[in-house]
Amino acid sequence: MNGHVQVEREGRMTIITLARHESLNAINAAIEGALAAAFDAFEADPDQWVAILTGAGDRAFSSGLDLKQQVSGETPAKLATGFGGLTRRFERLKPIIAAVNGLALGGGFEMALACDLIIASENATFALSEPRVGMVALAGGVQRLIGEIGPKRAMSMLLTGRHVSAAEGLALGFVNAVVPEGASLTAAKQWAAQILECSPMSVRAIKQIAGLVGHDLRVAMDVSRNLPAVKALMTSEDTTEGPRAFLERRKPVWKNC
């Protein structure tokens, strides 16, 4: 594992930390490969149910693509899993939370948008700033931002590359919660703990159903019943353990099978 990508496990929670302070956690090819490996390991481990992605320090979550790499002509990773090993994981079923502290710019913001939740410190700043350096966000940022906050509000960011505060991000709708400076990781762990109280099979079924958003409602509802994660849930022990635990007034013990 690359030294600038740190992976910790706390119970069923995986915490992936970008730790490249000197470059505001910018992403180069080596770091991108290490991130991809970390996400691969998380997805493959049946004992890990939720992940948190964050940046070390209070200055940046990630400033995105390392522009020194761009200028030098160093070959980018061009991973099948997308920028940062994350933005093209369209089929993933385990939730990932972005704990954003400081700057989330360009590809860094695209990585945050690719997560299921964004928990931001008060000092967090977001921007798809690519047009200001003669580039364009090609890792799903344009599409995801428009999908989450609507075209007019998204274009006010996309066409200008302007920086948006955590408070404005919350008002626009792409940030889930704003917490005091330095508290984003702690808060993200609290959100993760709430997810871990739920059946992991239910969570995966919800993730797969959510992927149908944008389809005709009738079609989406009909298709949902036959999705692999939904069918797995409906034949699992979790569907009997949950109601039994509720009636017995105890916490459920999820079988995850």
Report the pLDDT value the prediction gives residue 27, as an integer from 0 to 100. 93
**130 carries an active-site annotation:** yes
144 neighbors 110 (Cβ within 8 angstroms): yes
What is the Cα–Cα distance from 19 to 138, expressed in whole angstroms? 24
Residues for the chain: how many in total?
257
Report field, pTM of the whole predicted structure over 0.85: yes
Supply angle C-alpha 243, 246, 247, rounded to 5: 90
Residue 67, pLDDT score: 79
Give the pLDDT score at 21.
82
Domain ranges of the chain: 5-196, 200-247
Instruction: Check residue 76 and give its pLDDT.
Output: 61
Q: Averaged in consecutive runs of 10 residues, what is the pLDDT profile of the chain (257 residues)?
A: 88 96 90 96 97 95 85 70 96 97 97 98 97 93 96 97 98 98 97 97 96 89 95 95 95 88
In the set 110, 122, 148, 248, the catalytic residue is 110
CATH class of 5-196: alpha beta
Cα angle: 215, vertex 96, 143; to 5 degrees: 40
- DSSP one-letter string for 179-210: E-TT-HHHHHHHHHHHHHTS-HHHHHHHHHHH
The single residue of 32, 130, 181, 248 carrying the catalytic annotation is: 130
Measured between its terminal Cα atoms, the distance across the chain in Å is 31
Angstrom distance (rounded) from CA 63 to CA 59: 10
